[in-house]
């Protein structure tokens, strides 16, 4: 599923409605709770090992901010370096243009199959679906992405896209679907992690050895040398980046860092924040092409797709610092209950709630509802390795939705206007308080009206005192 085509993410209902099914699914909630709590505890231990974590976090924030301020210059420098090293750079203003470029590049090779490294950018533009429509099969090779693809499912987590699946479900997907895409699952496949991993390894190895075109994203691009960097844990990325003859990388423009010194900061903060590792098992770096070593053709597709719009927003632009570690998802009480699918985008959780409405605008129902998919507890900000103040951006986007007259928020504006009037008129306030206290036995336990009823479904309304405070004060303190 992708971000733009019919029946997909954009057509989804608003967040509260989409989250309802997940909240009522006990198995899903148990899977999510177990997984997010395990990862968050491991992350906390890995981060606590470093005495200079706060300094690294600040350095990451400043490097990203500085780079974003001069993004145009760094991208031109990157293009020059990639070109000088034998690569070709393509610029894509939006998803359609990026898909067209990649399709044409694959077509030019004469191939009808590609292997893919896990990539958020290609999911964002719906590349797999586009290629499929053009008669090109795209095979995901990351284990979790493979589970999602075989299960005809959608990712629900940035780092662990199949976090909503347990081992039994994965075994069933492998048994049923692997044969349709290539080598079938071994007879009598069990649900032990070793057996599942072996089944995936055998299935994927055939594809690695056959593929002539690889497609990737990148975690970072170093402008000074034109080097791209992919960090991963399984080694599938290394296979896709080195075995095919042609490599096409689709990367968001905000992934550029000026120098190797800058990269060094993120190679410390990203693994600890994402997989709770001191460094990633596989850190692949490549610069253009090299004779007799790796792909002989390299294409870099630089993707905007709403990023420069986000850059123009002084508050919202901090979302572009994101290094996709997913730490904010693992600590978010809303994500833990609502699951990733409810966010209607490949970017779920707190970062999705601020990034998606900026990349796509707040026009659709789902995107306008995302800034409200938070309790503003601030746990996401605490763990973010580049110090994105997600609550600040959420409130900022809520203002934007309200200013645009978002559906459902007219009521909120009317309520705030009425409250302002009452608070500006002390006599009316005192009269209202007395009436409310005198009639308190008659008050409903739930509020009436569509929005208010839902709000009070899960909350206890406060008990009103028998007399207002100002009357009590007059009697007892004067
Ligand atoms: S917003 Fe921060 S914590 Fe969340 S994925 Fe991005 S970098 Fe990680």
Q: Is the pLDDT reported for residue 86 higher than 80?
A: yes
pLDDT the model gives residue 217 = 97
The answer on pLDDT for 11 being more than 70 is: no
pTM listed for this prediction? 0.85
Cβ(322) – ligand 1 distance below 6 Å? yes
Residues 127-149 pLDDT 10s: 999 999 999 999 999 999 999 99
273 alpha carbon – ligand 1 mean position (Å): 9
89 lines ligand 1 (CB under 6 A): no
Distance 417 CA to ligand 1 centre (A): 36
Asked whether 328 lines ligand 1 (CB < 6 A), one says: yes
How far is it, in rounded angstroms, from Cα 476 to Cα 478?
Answer: 6
- CB of 40 within 6 A of ligand 1: the answer is no
- Whether ligand 1 lies within 6 angstroms of the CB of 320 is answered as no
30-41 per-position pLDDT tens digit: 888 998 999 999
- How many C-beta atoms lie closer than 10 Å to residue 382's C-beta? 12
Atom of ligand 1 nearest to the CA of 390: 1
For ligand 1, atom 3: residue with the closest CA: 384
pLDDT band at 236 (very low <50, low <70, confident <90, very high): very high
* Ligand 1 binding pocket includes 56 (Cβ within 6 Å): no
Distance (angstroms) between ligand 1 centre and the Cα of 439 equals 49
Q: Is the CB of 136 under 6 A from ligand 1?
A: no
384 lines ligand 1 (CB under 6 A): yes
Residue nearest to atom 6 of ligand 1 (CA): 322
pLDDT at 9: 53
**pLDDT of the residue at 87:** 98
Q: CA-to-CA distance for 373 and 352, rounded, in angstroms?
A: 10
Tell me, using a 6 A CB cutoff, whether residue 323 lines ligand 1: yes
């Amino acid at each position: 599923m992708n971000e733009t085509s019919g029946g997909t993410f954009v057509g989804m209902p608003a967040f509260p409605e989409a989250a309802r099914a997940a909240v009522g699914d006990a198995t899903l909630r148990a899977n999510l709770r177990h997984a997010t709590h395990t990862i968050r505890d491991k992350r906390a231990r890995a981060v606590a090992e470093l005495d200079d974590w706060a300094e690294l976090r600040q350095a990451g924030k400043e490097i990203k901010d500085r780079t974003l301020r001069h993004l145009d210059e760094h991208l031109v420098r990157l293009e020059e370096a990639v070109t000088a090293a034998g690569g070709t750079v393509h610029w894509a203003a939006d998803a359609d243009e990026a898909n067209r470029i990649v399709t044409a590049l694959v077509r030019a090779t004469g191939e009808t199959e590609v292997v893919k490294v896990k990539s958020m950018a290609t999911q964002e533009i719906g590349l797999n679906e586009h290629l499929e429509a053009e008669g090109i099969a795209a095979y995901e090779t990351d284990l979790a992405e493979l589970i999602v693809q075989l299960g005809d499912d959608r990712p629900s987590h940035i780092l662990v896209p199949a976090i909503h699946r347990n081992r039994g479900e994965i075994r069933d997907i492998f048994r049923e679907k692997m044969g349709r895409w290539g080598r079938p699952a071994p007879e009598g496949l069990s649900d032990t992690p070793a057996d599942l991993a072996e089944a995936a390894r055998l299935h994927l190895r055939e594809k690695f050895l056959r593929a002539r075109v690889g497609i990737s994203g990148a975690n970072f691009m170093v402008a000074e040398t034109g080097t791209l960097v992919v960090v991963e844990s399984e080694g599938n990325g290394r296979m896709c980046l080195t075995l095919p003859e042609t490599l096409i990388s689709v990367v968001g423009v905000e992934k550029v860092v000026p120098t190797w010194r800058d990269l060094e900061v993120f190679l410390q903060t990203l693994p600890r924040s994402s997989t709770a590792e001191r460094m990633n098992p596989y850190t692949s770096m490549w610069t253009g092409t090299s004779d007799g070593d790796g792909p002989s053709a390299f294409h870099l597709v630089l993707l905007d797709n709403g990023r420069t719009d986000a850059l123009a927003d002084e508050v919202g632009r901090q979302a572009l610092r994101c290094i996709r570690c997913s730490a904010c998802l693992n600590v978010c009480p809303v994500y833990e209950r609502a699951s990733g699918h409810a966010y209607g985008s490949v970017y779920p959780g707190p970062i999705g709630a601020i990034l998606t409405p900026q990349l796509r605008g707040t026009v659709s129902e789902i995107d306008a509802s995302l800034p409200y998919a938070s309790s503003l507890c601030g746990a996401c900000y605490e763990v973010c390795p580049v110090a994105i103040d997600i609550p600040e951006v959420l409130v900022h986007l809520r203002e934007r939705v309200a200013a645009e007259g978002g559906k459902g928020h007219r009521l909120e504006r009317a309520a705030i206007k009425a409250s302002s009037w009452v608070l500006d008129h002390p006599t009316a306030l005192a009269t209202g308080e007395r009436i409310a206290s005198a009639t308190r036995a008659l008050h409903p336990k739930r509020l009436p009206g569509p929005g208010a009823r839902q709000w009070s479904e899960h909350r206890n309304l406060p008990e009103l005192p028998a007399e207002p405070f100002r009357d009590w004060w007059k009697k007892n303190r004067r």
